[in-house]
Structure 1
Amino acid sequence: MVNSVPSAWEKIRKKNEVSWFYHQMWTKKLQFKIAFILWRVWKQKLPMDDVLARMGISIVSICRYCSQPQQETLEHIFLAEDYATTVWKVFTDAADIQGPFVQAAPTIRLWQLWKRMNTVVHGGTMSKAKVLYDINMNLVQLAKLKYP
């Protein structure tokens, strides 16, 4: 029997099985803005040059960080660019992270790389030490929320 709109919705909606990646993305207690950036990367919804080009917006695509200019793509900025490679390596080498932090660490790294990119695009600077410090602070904040 349907007694309310929410119960009617539950009866008629199609539920898809939650994928492993989707579950990893939405870590409990992780700030929404940090998880949301991973969702946007996954769905290719960040305003990167390659995404804008697929939308029909023609621009000259140059990575602002590389000494040898390359096309700005999601993969390049978040995985292949020298700065990003260093950030990933630091935390891969310290892979002693346990529990929910295994889920949250990659998302937090993406978030901090995105913040750095926007800082540089808008005329600022951000050192590797600052990015690594901010990643660590995000993990500490998550730990305090998870284990008060």
Structure 2
Amino acid sequence: MANSISINSDNNDKPIWTISHTGKFSIGSAWKNLRQEKPHNQLYSRLWHTNIPFKMSFLTWRVVHNRLSTDQSVARLGIPMDPKCYCPLGISTNNTNLKFTLLNWWNHKTKNPFCALIIKIIPALTCWEIWRLRCCNKFEAERYSLYRSIANILFSILQVLKNKFGNARFGNSWNTICQACEAISIRNQPYKSNGSGPTQQCQAQ
């Protein structure tokens, strides 16, 4: 077999990366060849988001997998604890499957970029605020306030929106955010002509 291969001594040797269709080496192609790729997980693809801090996404992951260090989970390890709820918001799960609830929330479709971003980040921001409130109530005896928690979540939403859409104006309240989203929705609606020319309203604009 070696004798059947013709070698051109006038040309320099050139390495070829056979894994890539271009013949050129890349770290991405090497990683793709080495790793064992798992099926796409719709839940995990939404848990992690580049526009919110990693700690919030990680906390949401722990919530989904029941990995939070609550008194009840610590007691299951054999450590004597008195399980007590330190989140005084009166939240009732009614035995709802959290993964199913999150997927239903994230599967809501919208063409509005503001609404799409808000839908993606609200679960992580809410989980973070509830956990922060629980820890402050347990370890620092901080008095809870539902309105303060809502304000904290709203502030986080505004920060993410301003970082993502710096030139847009959202105001400082939930109503102004909704108005900005509605304005984008109306602006993005395609104009439908009935063949009779522009309306008086369009002509006035």
Instruction: Report if TM-score (shorter chain) is over 0.5.
Output: yes
Instruction: Name the structure 1 match of 2:126.
Output: 109
Tell whether 2:43 aligns with 1:43: no
2:86–2:135 Cα contact (<8 Å) kept: no
**1:143 has 2:161 as partner:** yes
Unaligned runs of 5+ in 1: 67-76, 82-91
Structure 2: distance between partners of 1:7 and 1:140: 38
Q: Percent identity?
A: 23
Q: In the alignment, which residue of structure 2 is the partner of 1:87?
A: none
Distance 1:125 1:135 in 2: 17
What letter is aligned with 2:68?
L
Give the unaligned 5+ runs of structure 2. Answer: 1-16, 20-24, 94-104, 106-113, 167-205
Q: Against the structure 1 CA distance between its residues 25 and 65, is the aligned structure 2 distance closer, same or farther, given a 3 Å change threshold? A: closer
Shift of 1:4: 7.6
Compute the TM-score of the two structures, normalised by the length of structure 2: 0.53
What's the RMSD between the two structures over aligned residues? 3.0
Identify the residue that residue 134 of structure 1 maps to in structure 2. Answer: 152
1:65 to partner: Cα distance: 4.8
TM-score calculated relative to the size of structure 1: 0.71
Larger Rg: 2
Paired residue total? 126
Residue 7 of structure 1: CA displacement? 5.0
Q: CA deviation at 1:78?
A: 9.2
Higher share in helix: 1
Cα distance change on mapping 1:130 and 1:4 into 2, 3 Å: same
Structure 1 residue 8, shift from structure 2 partner: 3.9
Contact kept in structure 2, 1:78 and 1:113, CA below 8 Å: no
